[in-house]
Amino acid sequence: MKNAWFKAYLYLIPALTVILVFFLGGFVLAIIQSLGYFPLIGQNEFTFKYYTQVLTSREFLNSLSFTFYIAFVSTIISTVMGTFLAYYFLKLAVKESLVRFFYKLPIAIPHLVTALMLVFLLGQGGILSRLLIKLGLISGTASFPAFFYSKNALGIILIYIWKEIPFITFMVYLVMRNIHSRLGEAATTLNASSSQVFRYITLPLSMPSIISASAIVFAFSFGAFEVPYLLGATYPKTLSVWAYLNYISADWGARPLSMVINIIISLVCALLILVYYLASKKYLRRWG
């Protein structure tokens, strides 16, 4: 028994080494630099001035609210649509292989490819706007709604929704299928309607999975970089883009500011994990 325990941990050493060296090591280095310790440019003392500079700046508040807006809207829409789509697949008795195909198709397409596809389709000079001009429905490209490079961030949200709905659908579907095959069918034999089964049995018992999936997609949307960088507004920028611009700045004194922003992003994601844990624990305690 002891040998098996020792071997199990021995097999984990390579993976744990990578995590400790690259992830945890990088995180510790980011914390050190965010505190102003950066000998490369002659800063050898720890200070909180960079945290104060970031947290009190108007740009930070605008960037934080813009990032929350994108992550929150895309997560809410994806969670609601993914949950009901999972239940719809369940009601139609769709084969799991088809659900897996629906789940894998958008994930197989990189975000950058999806972004280019939507720009060609929904951009002000894209296919849809030119078609509407041909039909005489709009007078010019300027009359077409601005999905990209604008403060509404509709194009970014659409890309996230495209990627996130299948992920949430698949995660929730697997849980709903097990619930429906046991408790749902039992409730149906007791003359419960489909809406009652969904409202009082399937949905409440699926909530831990729904919360988990929504937490994952929110954390992804909150920290994502490439799509906001390519298609985001000139101002405000998301936190990840703002951090990147500070990191590549010719002024090396901006490097600690970049690390402060990265730490804030990490703390928000960690807080989200804590909220997920507490919410899941509450539901598990309530529903057994």
pLDDT at 64: 92
Asked whether 269 and 94 are in contact (CB, 8 A), the reply is no
Q: Is the pLDDT of residue 49 over 80?
A: yes
Give 21's pLDDT tier (boundaries 50, 70, 90). confident
Q: Is the pLDDT of residue 189 over 80?
A: no
Alpha helices (H) in the chain, listed in sequence order: 2-18, 25-34, 49-55, 58-91, 96-108, 111-122, 127-134, 154-179, 185-189, 194-197, 203-223, 226-231, 239-247, 255-287
Distance from C-alpha of 210 to C-alpha of 152, rounded to nearest angstrom: 26
Give 7's pLDDT tier (boundaries 50, 70, 90). low
Distance from C-alpha of 170 to C-alpha of 96, rounded to nearest angstrom: 9
Q: How confident is the model over 92-121, as a mean pLDDT?
A: 72
pLDDT mean across residues, the chain:
80
Collapsed DSSP state (helix, strand, coil) of residue 219: helix
**152-to-118, 125, 200 alpha-carbon distances in Å:** 16, 18, 37
pTM: 0.82
Greatest mean pLDDT among 111-120, 138-147, 163-172: 163-172
Instruction: Enter the DSSP assignment of 38.
Output: B
Q: Is the pLDDT of residue 96 over 90?
A: no
Q: Is the pLDDT of residue 130 over 60?
A: yes
Residues 60-84 pLDDT 10s: 999 999 999 999 999 999 999 999 8
> Domains (ranges, CATH) in the chain?
56-287 (1.10.3720.10)
pLDDT at 283: 63
CB atoms within 10 A of CB 136: 7
End-to-end CA distance of the chain: 32
272 burial (CB, 10 Å; 0-12 / 13-18 / 19+) is middle
Of 168, 151, 162, give the one whose Cα is nearest residue 70: 151
pLDDT at 238: 92
**198-to-86, 87, 125, 179 alpha-carbon distances in Å:** 12, 8, 44, 10
pLDDT at 112: 77
pLDDT cut 90: percent of the chain above it: 13
pLDDT at 240: 92
Cross-strand pairs, 38: 43
Q: Is the pLDDT of residue 251 over 90?
A: no
Q: How confident is the model over 102-118, as a mean pLDDT?
A: 74
Q: Is the pLDDT of residue 255 over 60?
A: yes
